[in-house]
Amino acid sequence: MKRMLLLSVAVFAVPGVAHASEAESVDGGTIIVTGKADGYLASDSVTATKTDTPLIDVPQTVTVVTREQLDDQASRSIADVLRYVPGTTIGQGEGNRDQITLRGQNTTADFFLDGVRDDVQYFRSLYNIERVEVLKGPFALIFGRGGSGGIINRVQKTPSAGDLAFGATGSVNTFGSWDISADINAPLSETAAFRLNAYYESLDNHRDVFGGERYAVNPYLAVEFGSGWQAGLSYEYVSDKRVTDRGVPSIATAPGQPNRPIAGYRDTFFGAPDVNRAGLEAHIVKARLDGELAENLQWSTTLLYGDYDKFYTNVFANGAATGQTGTVVLSDYTDPTARQNFIVQSNLVWDVDLGNVTNKVLVGLEYADQNSTNQRRDLILSRTTLDLANIVYPTATSGALLRDTLSEVKVFSAYAQDQIGFGEHVDLVVGLRYDRFEIDGTDRIGTPRPFARTDDRVSPRIGVIVKPQDNISLYTSYSQSFLPRSGDQFLTLSAAQENLAPERFTNYEIGAKWDIRPDLNATLAVFRLDRTNATTPDPNNVAATINIGATRTEGVELALTGRITPDWQVSAGYTYQDARLDGNEAVRLAQVPEHQFALWNRYQATRRIGLGLGVIHQSSQFAAIRTAPTTTRLAAFTRLDAAVFFKATDRLEFQLNVENLLDERYFSDAHNNNNISTGAPINARLTARVAF
């Protein structure tokens, strides 16, 4: 496999402008701060507004999962994190990538690292991450195209010029998966520090055919130059090689009723064990520079260059099983992608008071150039069906080329935002972003066919915040985003799509945020997200999309985060969503449960012993957009998790996490009607942490 160079020169950031991290100078202390948090509760975010803003003053739903909660829940992936964030649904991602649904909108690309676009399709790890932020609703003003139902932002761990520190973690679970990691922080002087994070993970789970390994190393240097100027340089190498597993197929129930995932095959692999493989390599470099041009005037510039190389080969069920011990039709392909990215971003933030009116003005420019080459090739299978009464896996050889494209995307953006304070009780957030999106490519199958399209789009955002008290905010907001016709990976553009306008997303939201105490917060949001010019994956053709017109998702979100008592922390949330084709109640959107509830508790029973208890409930959902009565439905499920924490000494800690404590049989996620992931049975993970 071709080696992948991913140079993510990113996040030159200023205090208040930094992409999801705040830079500040502290004598002999922290050089770069990644946001304020108390246990499970975060109090601010730079990501939501590109300025350092308390979450209570952000007029949109933002969920922050802190490092402490990530550790307590033994989270290893984005999927682990988001299962405890209601309003988000995990997709299978064809067994090779993160894929999620936010407010009814499915995406493989709305992921960011320190506020910088991270749109390559792969599984993201958390070993060097300080916190994960989930922003819901369109965010074109901040992030440009996409972000239709929201975005996921990972905030990286950063160096400190305080004390020399070393931490190591190791864990193993009952499936045989294990990992080790190290985190070293070394002050170089009062104004410079170095941090190194590294990890290795051996992959395994409950499935008959699964395995792989991933590892990474991430050194990070940060320096303060004086006079308010800071710089950071980070390099990361990532390797991820694993079996591609697309789960189990469906089976028919009664005539005219939804199909259901086939039962009794929780561990059975539907593929070709020697063929199904995915691989990714990455070299990631991030650089950062920020400073104060004048009093109350901050400047930042970001550069990003990336060179990506990824592949996946898969054999999978391409139809419902003909019976409980019948046959399943198989399909297949291999898909390599290479991408080069170059992004330049520059921001100014100006704090200015005009009488009793305060203003935090953000002005920014961004230029991006992204080049992609992609192929999709058929495989020739030794057998095209799997006999469930006598499973014999097929072998495969290379077949015909199905897709061979190259494309270049150029984006120029200009944006402005003002956070206006009218006295102590009323704030106004207003902004506008202009994007010029150009795609130019060639379909090289047969006679080369060039394709191209240019879109100019303006995306507004406005929010009004009323604060009857310092610890209570009531808000309403309106925002828009768009997605060009080349999709979130811009790999191809058909002749028919070239003449279609981009998809547009409009979010209306009203809500309330209440800091009950400084360490306990409650939020409420009511929203409506409209999508026009909508497309969706064709449930009957894995390589195609269909136009469905307009969709609407309406819902309510509730959350409670923080400390109930000094010894008892909670992270709780409930979401109700009604996601459908606008004007047609019978057509339901894919992978959107009507009800989701998640609750995680940690109680510190003694100075050395802590207890954790979590529950996840998800009502039934359709695996694909429901365009027919037989569309596969995944049943509702409730999963119980638990943990025990033991502090052996001041430097050594152990924890035992038990997932699916009651051994619930359930189907956790899906890619379409016949690629459905089975939930893992009861399993445990033992973790040890040492720190010096």
Q: What pLDDT is attached to residue 494? A: 81
Q: What pLDDT is attached to residue 536? A: 61
Residue 69 backbone dihedrals phi, psi, to 5 degrees = -70, -40
Q: What is the pLDDT of residues 622-633, one digit of tens each?
A: 999 998 999 999
pLDDT reading at 88 higher than 50: yes
Amino acid found at 88? T
Q: What pLDDT is attached to residue 24? A: 35
Instruction: Return the half-sphere exposure (C-beta side, CA atoms, 13 A cut-off) of residue 633.
Output: 20
Amino acid found at 214? R
Q: What is the pLDDT of residues 128-173, one digit of tens each?
A: 999 999 999 887 788 888 878 899 999 999 999 988 999 999 999 9
Range of the domain at 388: 22-691
Q: What pLDDT is attached to residue 32? A: 53
Examine residue 6 and state whether it is found in any structural domain, yes or no: no
- Count of beta carbons in the 10 Å neighbourhood of residue 231: 18
pLDDT reading at 30 higher than 80: no
CA 414 vs CA 117, 408, 430: distances in Å: 16, 20, 15
Q: Give the CA dihedral 197, 201, 205, 211, nearest 10 degrees.
A: 140
Task: Output b/e per residue, 80-89; b: 16+ Cβ within 10 A.
Answer: bbbbbbbbbb
Examine residue 2 and state whether it is found in any structural domain, yes or no: no
Examine residue 4 and state whether it is found in any structural domain, yes or no: no
Indicate the length of the chain as a whole number. Answer: 692
User: What integer best gives the mean pLDDT of the chain?
Assistant: 90
Q: What pLDDT is attached to residue 501? A: 84
C-alpha triplet 377, 622, 321: angle, nearest 5°:
60
Q: What pLDDT is attached to residue 138? A: 81
Strand-pairing partners, residue 639, are: 616
- Count of beta carbons in the 10 Å neighbourhood of residue 6: 26
Q: What pLDDT is attached to residue 540? A: 57
* Cα–Cα dist 582/532, whole Å: 9
In the chain, what is the straight-line distance between the N-terminal and C-terminal CA atoms, in Å? 40
Q: What pLDDT is attached to residue 683? A: 97
* Cα–Cα dist 113/620, whole Å: 32
* Cα–Cα dist 243/278, whole Å: 6
Examine residue 5 and state whether it is found in any structural domain, yes or no: no
Report residue 6's pLDDT band, with 50, 70 and 90 as the boundaries.
very low
Residue whose entry in the numeric block shows the structure tokens 């017109």: 549
Strand-pairing partners, residue 370, are: 341, 409
Amino acid found at 642? A
Contact between 199 and 689 (Cβ < 8 Å): no
Q: What is the pLDDT of residues 411-448, one digit of tens each?
A: 999 999 999 999 999 999 999 999 999 999 999 998 99
Q: What pLDDT is attached to residue 25? A: 32
Q: What is the pLDDT of residues 189-215, one digit of tens each?
A: 999 999 999 999 999 999 999 999 999
Q: What pLDDT is attached to residue 27? A: 36
Q: What pLDDT is attached to residue 538? A: 56
Q: What pLDDT is attached to residue 8? A: 31
What mean pLDDT comes out for the span 613-623? 97
Q: What pLDDT is attached to residue 17? A: 26
Q: What is the pLDDT of residues 175-190, one digit of tens each?
A: 999 999 999 999 999 9
The more confidently predicted of residues 192 and 38 is 192
Contact between 330 and 381 (Cβ < 8 Å): yes
Examine residue 254 and state whether it is found in any structural domain, yes or no: yes
pLDDT reading at 34 higher than 60: no
Task: Output b/e per residue, 134-153; b: 16+ Cβ within 10 A.
Answer: bbbbbbbbbbbbbbbbbbbb
* Cα–Cα dist 241/202, whole Å: 10
Q: What is the pLDDT of residues 588-600, one digit of tens each?
A: 999 999 999 999 9
Report residue 541's pLDDT band, with 50, 70 and 90 as the boundaries.
low
Residue whose entry in the numeric block shows the structure tokens 């932020």: 133
- Count of beta carbons in the 10 Å neighbourhood of residue 653: 19
Contact between 436 and 429 (Cβ < 8 Å): no
Q: What pLDDT is attached to residue 433? A: 95
Task: Name which of 110, 152, 148 is nearest 133 in CA terms.
Answer: 152
Distance from chain centroid for Cα 370: 20
Q: What pLDDT is attached to residue 20? A: 31
pLDDT reading at 266 higher than 50: yes
**Residue 35, SS3?**
coil
Contact between 485 and 491 (Cβ < 8 Å): no
Contact between 519 and 563 (Cβ < 8 Å): yes
CA 383 vs CA 260, 271, 320, 673: distances in Å: 25, 11, 17, 22
pLDDT reading at 544 higher than 60: no
CATH number at residue 224: 2.40.170.20
Total domain count for the chain? 1
Report residue 386's pLDDT band, with 50, 70 and 90 as the boundaries.
very high
**Residue 72, SS3?**
helix
pLDDT reading at 14 higher than 80: no
* Cα–Cα dist 29/637, whole Å: 47
Amino acid found at 147? G
Q: What is the pLDDT of residues 461-470, one digit of tens each?
A: 999 999 999 9
What mean pLDDT comes out for the span 276-287? 93
Q: What pLDDT is attached to residue 2? A: 35
Report residue 276's pLDDT band, with 50, 70 and 90 as the boundaries.
very high
Sign of the C-alpha dihedral computed for residues 60, 66, 72 and 73 taken in this order: positive
Examine residue 16 and state whether it is found in any structural domain, yes or no: no
Amino acid found at 338? A
What mean pLDDT comes out for the span 515-526? 96
Contact between 169 and 181 (Cβ < 8 Å): yes
pLDDT reading at 28 higher than 50: no
Of the chain, the percentage scoring pLDDT greater than 90 comes to 76
Contact between 576 and 604 (Cβ < 8 Å): no
pLDDT reading at 308 higher than 90: no
Contact between 636 and 624 (Cβ < 8 Å): no
**Residue 143, SS3?**
helix
Report residue 584's pLDDT band, with 50, 70 and 90 as the boundaries.
confident
